[in-house]
Amino acid sequence: MKIDSAIKRVSDIIELWIPQKMKCEDVPGMSIGIFFKGKLLYQKGFGYFDVQKKRRMRPDDLYRVASMSKMFTATAILQLQEQSKLKLNDRVSKYLPWFKGKNRVGDLSKITLRQVLSHTSGLFRDGEKPYWFSHKFPKKLNDTISDRAIIFKNSKRFKYSNHGYALLGDVIKTVSGQTYSEYIQENILNLLGMRSTYPDLEKKALSRLARGYGRVLPEKKRKQEAFPNVPTYAYAPATGFISNVGDLARFLNSLILRSSGPQILSEKSKRMMTKLWTKTSKTSYYGLGLSITKAGRRKYVGHGGGFAGYVTQSLINPQDKCGVIVLSNSLENQSYNISRGIFDTLYYFTDKRIRKNAATYPYTGVYRDRWGDMVIASADNSLISFGVKTNNPVSNDKILLRPIGKHSFRLEMEDGFGSPGELVVFSLFKNGKAQKLLWSSNPMIRIS
């Protein structure tokens, strides 16, 4: 099956799965987008933009996308290299003379732009003040740097540093002669037509910015804390950006080799961004402003983000020119796992030779028994079943229902403790949809 056709199948699954998963996991709101060859083929908002006001999420609502900001900052640095205004092997201190300090493990003055971009500088993660808890981010960085800023010898290992990317914002300001926001607006956002993206909090974004919520805490009687929206100032290059699914799709598409639409980087710079500069885990790496994960013959490139009240993730498969974006206004959300689950489901369809599709509409939906809630969705000429809490509808524990007769299906599953080989029979049809089913001997009722 072709990718664009598979996206339609996946979107049907998302709309059964995600609303119920959010209810079970206390996630107020989410927005999901899938794009292919520069076209946003699926975009939808789920749940609540503001729980207290009962305002529903709209597809174009805004989120704090947090560390996705690093993709924009890395792009700006590479643009300036293309303009011969800097080189990645230049030392940061060349542009920021106050960036100095030495201790027994390293020397700040020797750190290069490339090391900061790839998180191999050895810099501390977030400085020495609790910015993320006080909601008071620094307006200037020169008084945050000392010999305590370097934790590891540069190029020794991967060590994520928000402070490092904040420094890159100052480098962009120095080299370009513009503020960080002005440079990003002129050289990235305007060129790509990204009218709903802001490098930091602005008044005109507030009415469209989803309210961010914390975790569910038992002692708070399941009420989630609503966090204040604050500017990030000097930290904007690391975590300040506000955007939505549509704009992020435009930006991510522009990073794909030989992509359609406006180009903001040369092909050489794009390859440089996605090079495996440093290893972060067994199958994951970091490029320049991009995380990279290998999964068999496929490679996923993108970035996640976490801010007070928001967890976000963007992934692209550069080879297939396809991308998935998952944004949420809750710290309860697992955006990375969901985005990978969506990709796996997409490839479940594209990797199969689809036969004539059976008429499965009367059976698809969400069903409940005392053990839990289960999604039944269309897949090939059969049905697929999975629990609503899953992050991956086509994981190894998926269950197939093969049609064998009128309203009857036979179960196919790996788990011998389940009911492999037994029957599922749908019944009590209303408005063309089954309202009940018998799963082996276990009755279930439709809830959605």
Asked if 291 and 301 count as a contact pair (C-beta separation under 8 A), the reply is: yes
Count other C-beta atoms under 10 Å from residue 389's C-beta.
12
Partnered with residue 319 across adjacent β-strands are none
Asked if 75 and 50 count as a contact pair (C-beta separation under 8 A), the reply is: no
Residue 431: Cβ-neighbour burial (10 angstroms; 0-12, 13-18, 19+): exposed
- How is the chain split into domains, by residue range? 26-332, 365-446
- DSSP letter at 388 equals T
- DSSP letter at 68 equals G
pLDDT at 221: 63
Architecture of domain 26-332: 3-Layer(aba) Sandwich (3.40)
> What's this model's pTM, rounded to 2 decimal places?
0.95
What three-state secondary structure class fits 346?
helix
In the block, residue with structure tokens 């594209």: 350
What three-state secondary structure class fits 400?
strand
Asked if 297 and 125 count as a contact pair (C-beta separation under 8 A), the reply is: no
First to last CA, the chain: 28
pLDDT at 253: 96
pLDDT tens digits for the chain (448 residues)?
899 899 999 999 999 999 999 999 999 999 999 999 999 999 999 999 999 999 999 999 999 999 999 999 999 999 999 999 999 999 999 999 999 999 999 999 999 999 999 999 999 999 999 999 999 999 999 999 999 999 999 888 999 999 999 999 999 999 999 999 999 999 999 999 999 999 999 999 999 999 999 988 877 666 789 999 999 999 999 999 999 999 999 999 999 999 888 899 999 999 999 999 999 999 999 999 999 999 988 999 999 999 999 999 999 999 999 999 999 999 988 999 999 999 999 999 998 765 545 568 899 999 999 999 999 999 877 899 999 999 999 987 789 999 999 999 999 988 888 899 999 999 999 999 999 999 999 999 999 9
pLDDT at 219: 73
Our measurement of the distance from residue 101's CA atom to the centroid of its chain's CA atoms, rounded to an integer in Å, reads 36
Please report, to the nearest 10 degrees, the dihedral formed by the alpha carbons of residues 425, 429, 433, 437 taken in order.
-30
Q: Provide the pairing of β-strand 322-328 with 310-317.
A: antiparallel
307 vs 330: CA distance, rounded Å: 9
